[in-house]
Structure 1
């Protein structure tokens, strides 16, 4: 029955969410290497069989956490108009600020930094599965805007690095050192706006 199928899908989705939340919390407090799948199952209040059905290994679970943390709530670069770079860059910057301001994303950064001496591959996987795909979306938009003639961008990689760097300097990096750093939404929006205006001043068609 369709209703029964939908119910089972919701149950499975709820259990998956509980597993991801429990794993992220335990990785953050105990560390990746010192956390077992059995401990995660207990914390998520699911059976080991349920956990193994969704995540066969701890690495697969970590990868799922990364992908979840780096997925914007609302971003489709295919729908961004390359001939309106002000609106496009604002949308990209807002999505980036939302992603890197999440407690889950901040926790991932802290985790990979803390685990770097013993598990350097975690940083590489976060970069490859999380940061790099997002960065490529932004770089691709700069390239499209340059092709459309709405921006004068000699190097789309450099331009994307500059835009995202201006935003992360305010939104993300203070959180690595200051546990009480939690700027108001208006302050985050202003940081994004200033980054966009600075980018347009540098690369906008005169």
Structure 2
């Protein structure tokens, strides 16, 4: 689960969204917005090329949005917890200008610039009691890592034995045909044997990889 990672202050700018608030005149109280989506169920869909689609479904959403609105540009002097935040997380003048202009800024990981595990910066922010705003791209990245891990386990548990058996059988057939062939066909079969032999050699486990009997 490794990935080069720069902390986006979308994580940290929760100082505005979560713990802190911009001290602006309070507008008349409005009804909070809601996020609604319709349910999606593709179990009954039939298609030749997208067989996996039948397993997809999405429950309906009905979420009341809780994040208070604010206006740009921001002023750090009006962010209620900015002083506490700046003691734990230092921003240079350029980063501060971008923060005030856009409401967020992207910076390198100030705690460990060489960090590769995507979840650790979140833990660091939590330990330092810096409010966290988790962005959708972070979740999508974790889903991608989880999917890669799922494929790896399928390859090890399901595909390995079958790939070995198929490759080994193809090698035997190629050797048998090679012994009877002549001319260009013999040369082609020789290359097949070399190709399959390399694959089997790479698939063959070392002694230290074997499970004890």
| Greater RCO (CA < 8 Å, at least 6 residues apart) | 2
Higher strand share: 2
Higher helix share: 1
Q: TM-score, normalised by structure 1?
A: 0.24
